Amino acid sequence: MINFKDIEIKDLCFTPFILRDELLGRIQEIAIRINDEYKDKNPLFICVLNGSFMFASDLMKQIDLQSEIKFISLSSYDGVKSTGKIKENFGFGKWVSDRHIIILEDIIDTGNTMNYLLKNIQQWDPASVEVATLFLKNECLDYDLDLKYIGFEIPNKFIVGYGLDYDGIGRNYQDVYQLK
C-alpha cells in the first residue's frame, strides 16, 4: 500500500519524496547496466552498512551474473548532520585483491565517507573499483568522485526511509521521505 502521508520520527516531520515504485525502476536500470558491463567478470559487491541494505537487496535480486557480496560498516552521521569523521565499524581486507569491485552506497553528500573508502580500498590492489549510489547530493560534494552508477541526484535535504535513518529510526519505510 502506498503511503502519501507525512511521517514523524522523533522530533521531526518528513514528507513523501520518492515512492518505492520509482526507486525500484531506477534500481532496475542500474542492474541492467551492471549486468551488461560486468559479463564474465564475477564482480564483488561491497555493501556499505547500515543504510545501503535495502538498495543492495533490491539490486542483487536483479543481478544475473556470477557475483559475490560482502558487507562493511562505516558511519559519519550524528543525527541529521555529518560529523566529518569516519568511524570504521568493520572493514575489508585482502579479499578485494584482483577483484572487480562495485561499492553499493545509499547516499553520497559531502563524499567524505566514499573518499575515505576509495583511498583505503586501493591499498588492496583491486582489478577495478566503481561506485553505485542510490542518492547523490551533488551540490554538497567536497571531493571529486568518479561515480559510475547514480540512482537519483537530489537537493540538499535530509531524507529517511528505504534504509536511510534519523538517529537509527526510519530505515524500514518502503518510500523515501524528506525533512519538511
In the chain, the percentage of residues whose pLDDT exceeds 70 is: 87
pLDDT of residue 132: 98
The one catalytic residue among 109, 144, 146, 165: 109
Between residues 136 and 96, which one has the greater pLDDT? 136
Distance separating alpha carbons of residues 102 and 170, to the nearest angstrom: 26
Between residues 36 and 117, which one has the greater pLDDT? 36
Q: Is the pLDDT of residue 7 over 50?
A: yes
Instruction: Collect all residues with Cβ–Cβ distance below 8 Å to 78 and sequence separation of at least 6.
Output: none
Distance separating alpha carbons of residues 171 and 51, to the nearest angstrom: 7
Write down the domain spans for the chain: 20-75+86-155
Distance separating alpha carbons of residues 151 and 164, to the nearest angstrom: 15
Q: Dihedrals φ, ψ of 130, to 5°?
A: -130, 160
Could you confirm whether 109 is annotated as catalytic?
A: yes
Q: Which of 8-22, 69-83, 144-158 bottoms out in mean pLDDT, i.e. has the lowest? A: 69-83
Distance separating alpha carbons of residues 128 and 155, to the nearest angstrom: 30
Fold of 20-75+86-155: Rossmann fold (3.40.50)
The candidate with the shortest Cα–Cα distance to 118, out of 103, 132, 107, is 103
pTM of the entire predicted model: 0.89
pLDDT-based confidence at residue 89 (cuts at 50, 70, 90): very low
Q: Is the pLDDT of residue 81 over 70?
A: no
